[in-house]
Chains A and B, each alone.
Chain A
Amino acid sequence: MYTIPNVLLLSALLFSIGAYGVISRRNILLVLMSVEIMLSSVSLTVLAFARGFQGTAGTDGHVLVVFNMAVAAAEAAIGLALVVAFHRHFRSVDGDRATTMKG
């Protein structure tokens, strides 16, 4: 049950769910949420390996996850600012409305 490969499989499943959301959703808010799910599932992978290695290598993994969270926070701030700008331009949060550059 609780084994490192199972944790890795769980995080692969969560990553796939997030990828499905990014591809299939048109509401850009939900696309951003799916991106957050993908980012967090990568943290889960890194922590599973950190638990396996332990020691200094494991702590390296914890530090990497902390940096990942900082990047995720920056991404969320920029992404949501883009959502606000998008909504101001197109009066919608439907990503398919952005057809300005359509040939």
Chain B
Amino acid sequence: MNDAAFLICAALTTAAAALCVTRKNPIYGAFYLLGFFLGLAGLFVLLAAPFVAAVQVIVYVGAILVLFLFVIMLLDYAGLGGEAGRSFAGTLPAALLAFLLLAGLGAAVYRNAGGDTRPPAPLTDASFGSTRTVAKHLYIEYPLALELVTLLLMAALVGAVVLTRRPGPERGSATPDKGQEEATHGSGGGST
């Protein structure tokens, strides 16, 4: 039962990830990323982490993936012309590097735990990974880290707004950013 679930989720995540990074069109990539996240959530449930699996679906699929699709739609994709084709030989160094990384990580796992062919020990505590357990631990043991993460998210929010703000005279800023105006040469300004 667990073996079958593991195999299905592993195959789904691996196939979806491989397809995602090789697509030309980012929209297809985003949809394969959806399959990857869902398969990963299944693996999280299998690893006795139902709360984390739920957060994974809510945050990654509900927020990050939607943000990706939103940005893809926001950019006028027809005018981009896609990615110029890169030959297989062009990606060979990248494939080699990734394979070396995999070999190193795999060797590390094999050397330290290769002989362990038993399924994970049964849970000693049935509430392990439940919302109550994780939340208690989060709020009692790591309140400072939690506050810092909220600060980080706030900073990211403000940073995203600042980065996407259109520099324009109608903004009435006291110090017009000349370098940025020159950089947008011949682009038609804010007509789109």
List residues 33-90 of chain A with CB under 8 A from any CB of chain B: 33-34, 36-37, 40, 43-44, 47-48, 50-52, 54-56, 58-60, 62-63, 65-67, 69-78, 80-85, 87-89
A1 with B7: CB separation less than 8 A = yes
B133 with A7: CB separation less than 8 A = no
B68 with A9: CB separation less than 8 A = no
List residues 1-55 of chain A with CB under 8 A from any CB of chain B: 1-10, 12-21, 23-27, 29-30, 32-34, 36-37, 40, 43-44, 47-48, 50-52, 54-55
Quick one: closest A residue to B115, CB to CB? A5
A30 with B21: CB separation less than 8 A = yes
Asked whether any CB of chain A lies closer than 8 Å to the CB of B184, the reply is: yes
A-B contact pairs, 10 of them (CB 8 A): A3-B118, A4-B116, A9-B109, A15-B102, A16-B105, A29-B29, A66-B52, A70-B149, A73-B59, A91-B79
Main secondary structure of the interface of A (DSSP, over half): helix
B33 with A52: CB separation less than 8 A = no
Question: By the criterion of a CB under 8 Å from any partner CB, how many residues of chain A are at the interface?
Answer: 75
A1 with B52: CB separation less than 8 A = no
Given A2-B6, A2-B119, A37-B20; A77-B14 close (CB under 8 Å): no
A14 with B17: CB separation less than 8 A = yes
Given A12-B109, A91-B187; A2-B83 close (CB under 8 Å): no
Proximity string of chain B (89-132) to chain A, C-beta cutoff 8 Å, 1 when within and 0 when not: 01101110111011001100110011011111101110011000
Distance from A69 Cβ to chain B, minimum over Cβ atoms (Å): 5
A26 with B86: CB separation less than 8 A = yes
A residues with a Cβ closer than 8 A to B are 1-10, 12-21, 23-27, 29-30, 32-34, 36-37, 40, 43-44, 47-48, 50-52, 54-56, 58-60, 62-63, 65-67, 69-78, 80-85, 87-89, 91-94, 100
Of B6, B83, B138, B153, which contacts A27 at CB under 8 A?
B83
B7 with A50: CB separation less than 8 A = no
Given A2-B119, A47-B49, A84-B75; A63-B142 close (CB under 8 Å): yes
Cα–Cα distance between A56 and B167 once the two chains are bound (Å): 50
* Residues of chain B with a CB closer than 8 A to A89's CB: 183-184
Distance from A82 Cβ to chain B, minimum over Cβ atoms (Å): 6
A2 with B46: CB separation less than 8 A = yes
A82 with B163: CB separation less than 8 A = yes
* Residues of chain A with a CB closer than 8 A to B13's CB: 10, 14
Of B29, B33, B64, B98, which contacts A72 at CB under 8 A?
B64
Cα–Cα distance between A72 and B33 once the two chains are bound (Å): 14
List residues 54-105 of chain B with CB under 8 A from any CB of chain A: 55-56, 59-60, 63-64, 67-68, 71-72, 74-75, 79-84, 86, 90-91, 93-95, 97-99, 101-102, 105
